[in-house]
Each structure stands twice: as C-alpha cells, then as structure tokens.
Amino acid sequence: MIMKTIPSTPLILKRAGLGLLALCAAVLTGCGGGGGEGAGLTVGFAQAGAESAWRRAETASIKDEAGKRGVNLRFSDAQGKQENQIAAVRDFIAQGVDAIILAPIVETGWDDVLGEAKDAGIPVVLVDRGVDVGDDSIYATLIASDFVAEGKMAGEWLFKKSGGKARIIELEGTPGAAPAIDRKKGFDDVIGQHAGMEIIASQSGDFNIEKGKEVMEALLAKHAGEVTVVYAHNDDMALGAIQALEAAGKKPGEEVIVISIDGGKAALTALVEGKMNCVVECLPLLGPNAFDAVETIRAGGTLPKWQKVDDQLFDADNTDAAFAENRPY
C-alpha cells in the first residue's frame, strides 16, 4: 500500500500543522455553536451496518455530535460486510482525513488496514466493539462496554431468578463479533457452574430481529417442550424470539423467561409489559466520547487503551413505564 511507504517525519509535521489550524479555528470561533476543538476537522466514521436499534442510535449519536462540534463527518455503512468496512477505512486514509472512527464488525482481520492508518499518521478511535490485533499501537483507544461482564450479569440474574434450574436457548450475535464472543463467554461461564442450568441450543441470529425470529422458530420446532429461558445477545433478537414464542402459543415472560442485552426503548417497553424479564444495558450514545477522544489525541494527550462504558441491569423491580417511555433510543 502506498501509505506504508510514506515516511513518518513529514506526517508528524503534517499533523502538527493541522493541529495548529484546529487551534486557530477554535480561537476564532470560540466555544459555542459548532466551534471548539473539533471545528473544521474531517473525520471518517466506518460503521458496521444498521442491523439493530442500538447501532442506529450509535450512528445518530456520532452524526449529531459531529454536527454540534462543526466536524466534517464522512460516513460509510459497511452493511455487515468486513470487506466493505476495510475498503471504507482505506478510502478515508487515501482522502487524508484527520481521524477515523471505526466500529469493527468482527474482532480479527484488522492488522493490515489499521497498520496502514498508523503509517499514514491517522489516529483510529474504536467504538463499541474491540479488535484482536498483534500490535495494539495501531489504534488509539477503544470506547466500549465490558461484554463479558454483561453476559455474567445476565447469567447471575438468571441463577437467582430461576433458583438454579433452567433449560436455555441462546441467540448469539454476529459470528466473530466481540459482543457475540464475550457475551457468550460471560454468560456460559456462570451457567457452567450450576448443574441444574443447561444451554440446550445456541445459534446466531446475527443481531437482527428477523433472523432472531427465524432461528427461534426453528429451535422451537425442536425444543418447545423443554425450553424455559431465552438468552439473546441483543434486544432485537430477543424481540424476534418473543414473536416466535407467541406464534408458537407460548407466553414470553411467563412460560419462558426472556433476557436481552442493550436496553433500548422497545426492549424496556416489553419488560414493562411483562414479555421480557431482564435487560442488561449497553450504552450506544458514544458520539461525545468518540469526539472527545479525537480532540484529546490531536491536542497531544494520551488515552487509556480501553475506555470502559458502565452498564446496569433492568428488571421488573427497577423499571417502570415512564422510564421506558423516556428512553431516548
């Protein structure tokens, strides 16, 4: 790749020059109405897709925040395909953007293209999903939840709720995606410690409602007589599973416990209606944090490799209709 051959010194100068420009812009425009540190920057956002309400909320948060800060945002939706996302990152590098925000579809396969970004002197801020790379200096920071902890929270809640007896169908996220791998790990680890709890089937519903419903229908054809719990790696698949349960004549939330992760309005509403029993939160409003990170990097500051987003758990004890109604996504 051409970018790899560019020597680092001129790039450092280039970045310093742009930093100065940004500073001038900040001084000229002041802090209000789109001014500030980010004003005038060009940032590429390589989004994974639009498969879930969560991801649409994340996209909206990043676009809104760019608008507020006067950042010129270039947006790409990879439509669930890693090759599209890699091509988008390469395009941003070729365009010489000031920074790249990347929500990586899967964990692996990023070494080359992120190495190219580093060689080009373009910082990469990872949002919402982590990567598995040989050299972690090829990205600046990761802003994301702890997905193992989320899965663990769900498993521990279920242990208490079920008294340690459960026949579970697990609906996994996109194969190879950090939240699918880690939400499975955290949950399965807890379940594995209790003899009366068993995962009777575990299959991917690709983080979307249609696939969640379809997979649940197929699994119900086999396991309708024994299933007592559905654990879905996100809200959308849980909502699809609820439709499948109802179509099969089962009462979600009563005959079958339903657990999801994300905590969007639709899931919290289902919780209040009694069709869902437990929702572990995962916050999608990462725009402010992402652009704070870009500005810190450009100001020469350092950031922790992982900025952990804190999540909580919702169930019938702490969630009411007003809370669900006011959920902004």
> Within 10 Å of residue 157's Cβ, how many Cβ atoms?
19
Query: Of 3 and 86, which CB lies nearer to ligand GYE in the complex structure?
Result: 86
CB of 166 to ligand GYE, least distance (A): 22
Is the Cβ–Cβ distance between 167 and 193 less than 8 Å?
A: no
Encoded tokens for 293: 């990170």
Q: Pick out residues in 17-76 that bind ligand GYE (CB under 6 A).
A: 51-52, 54-55
Sign of CA dihedral 92, 72, 300, 287: negative
Closer of 65 and 262 to ligand GYE (Cβ): 262
Q: State CA 101 to chain mean position distance.
A: 13
State the Cα–Cα distance between residues 104 and 109, nearest whole angstrom.
10
Could you say which of 234, 260, 307, 319 contacts ligand GYE (CB under 6 A)?
Answer: 234
Site for ligand GYE in 193-212 (CB under 6 A): 207
Q: Give, as ranges, the residues between 243 and 262 that touch ligand GYE (CB under 6 A).
A: 261-262
107 binding ligand GYE? (CB under 6 A): no
x/- site string to ligand GYE, residues 153 to 192, per CB under 6 A?
--------------------------x-------------
Q: How far is the CB of 47 from ligand GYE (least distance, A)?
A: 11
Least distance CB 138 / ligand GYE (angstroms):
20
Q: Is 136 helix (H, G, I), strand (E, B) or coil?
A: helix
Locate tokens 């100068």: which residue? 13
Q: 125-144: which residues touch ligand GYE (CB under 6 A)?
A: 128-129
Nearest residue to 82 (alpha-carbon basis) of 123, 143, 131: 131
Closest separation in Å from C-beta 264 to ligand GYE: 8
Number of chain residues interacting with ligand GYE (CB under 6 A) = 12
Residues 6+ apart with CB under 8 A from 24: none
From residue 105, alpha-carbon distances to 3, 78, 110, 132, 188 in Å are: 23, 9, 10, 12, 22
The residues binding ligand GYE (CB under 6 A) are 51-52, 54-55, 128-129, 179, 207, 234, 261-262, 282
